[in-house]
Structure 1
């Protein structure tokens, strides 16, 4: 009985001792202990943490992907399209002539270049229908001349004769005649686009390099000229050639 009594009475004593022991701990230590317990209770498991990270990465990807696609599209947009109307001087008064007309020709030019509207005088006396220029060097440009009468079998312009052909357009660009006279190299070739024959030229001279593509449709001559100072040609050769390669009649 005595042993039993001592055993029963020792349990409350131990519990009381623990309570007294805990109460003797400084309040700041008790608070830290409780925070530690709560933090551990709220801490997610490894599996839950993995799901959270995966969701966060998916969210970031959904935001980043459209931005990357937009940047890629902007990087691909290296050229703009030019559409020319080939309007007569009497109706030319502004860009593109009559807005109700359908375009007669097109080409692609570097996205950094700017369209420059020819004046009615340039259209009437020189035949310049459309022009784009490099704002960093306005001496680097592309322009199209349209003339309404080609003559039968292109005889008037003799498109197979480089010098005679270019002489017909020299009034639109006075440096062209000098480039022909001082040429160090002249190349010519022919190509066909949608059943229309194009006569292509390249003239190298000390001052300028000229690229050109000339064709006839419905009795009208369409002549694209791309010019560049010789010192700038090498760095821009691909872009300048792209203008010529994309020139076509509609």
Structure 2
């Protein structure tokens, strides 16, 4: 009976071996867990992409600042004769005695017109862009003109006293002319000259027995850059004599 019980009882040797085997497997698993290498932070391709992006940021130039639209001021011109060069004296201001106005961009400089120049070709005022002196606007006038000549003749008459205008017309790719009237009935002739080296806008009118011609001109490179501003200057010119009747236009 005792022999049968001993045969049916679990063997201490087998139990010890099983326990030892399980313990060994747990130790091996723990060792394997400890020996696992750390997970890389990024793959090689990801690192290369990040490095390339950083390089582009360093090499890319900073964006250029946007150039704001320029401010404008109003110039009041008196169209004084050469004999009255330098003003009328007294306390009269240009604004009180002005015969015409036009806008001037901020930063443009006024060129002092000499008495000789005023007497020969009638230049009354001139402003220019200091970055490019050939980009400018100016006004000439002639006294004793009661009415505008035909549209086709006025431009040729202006060129007689302006050698630069003669050359520009001679080399022009296109010359356009038009006529407009303001709200008061004042008639203006308008010309656009697309020359080989420069572009010009001219506005001509008569008032107070005078012919006024306002010029806006610029080399083609500056015209391409500043066309909107230059057209605004052209449109800003007008005579200011509310008491004068509208000028008569010859047929």
Match of 1:188 in 2: 177
Cα distance, 1:170 vs. partner?
Answer: 2.6
Cα distance, 1:114 vs. partner?
Answer: 1.2
Identify which of 151, 160, 173 aligns with 2:151.
160
3-state SS in 2 of match to 1:227: strand
CA distance, structure 2, for counterparts of residue 205 and residue 130 of structure 1: 23
Gaps of 5+ in 1: 1-74
Cα distance, 1:86 vs. partner?
Answer: 0.6
Name the CA shift for 1:97/1:168 in 2 (closer, same or farther; >3 Å).
farther
Match of 1:126 in 2: 121
Q: Contact between 1:126 and 1:171, CA under 8 Å: does it hold in 2?
A: no
CA distance, structure 2, for counterparts of residue 76 and residue 165 of structure 1: 34
Per-residue CA deviations over 1:201-247 (Å, capped at 9, x if unaligned) read 10001111110000001221010011111122111111111111111
Name the CA shift for 1:195/1:136 in 2 (closer, same or farther; >3 Å).
same
Cα distance, 1:117 vs. partner?
Answer: 1.9
Alignment of 1:163-242 (within 5 A): 164-170=153-159, 172-193=161-182, 194-242=184-232
Alignment of 1:38-117 (within 5 A): 78-92=71-85, 94=86, 98=89, 100=92, 102-117=97-112
Q: How many residues align?
A: 168
CA distance, structure 2, for counterparts of residue 139 and residue 199 of structure 1: 24
Match of 1:149 in 2: 144
CA distance, structure 2, for counterparts of residue 166 and residue 135 of structure 1: 28
Q: What TM-score, normalized to structure 1?
A: 0.63
CA distance, structure 1, for counterparts of residue 88 and residue 193 of structure 2: 31
CA distance, structure 1, for counterparts of residue 203 and residue 113 of structure 2: 20
CA distance, structure 1, for counterparts of residue 160 and residue 116 of structure 2: 13
CA distance, structure 2, for counterparts of residue 97 and residue 119 of structure 1: 16
Give the helix-richer structure, 1 or 2.
1
Per-residue CA deviations over 1:148-192 (Å, capped at 9, x if unaligned) read 1115x43xxx2411xx32232235532210111111111111121
Q: Larger C-alpha radius of gyration, 1 or 2?
A: 2
CA distance, structure 2, for counterparts of residue 88 and residue 146 of structure 1: 9
Alignment of 1:24-39 (within 5 A): none
Match of 1:48 in 2: none
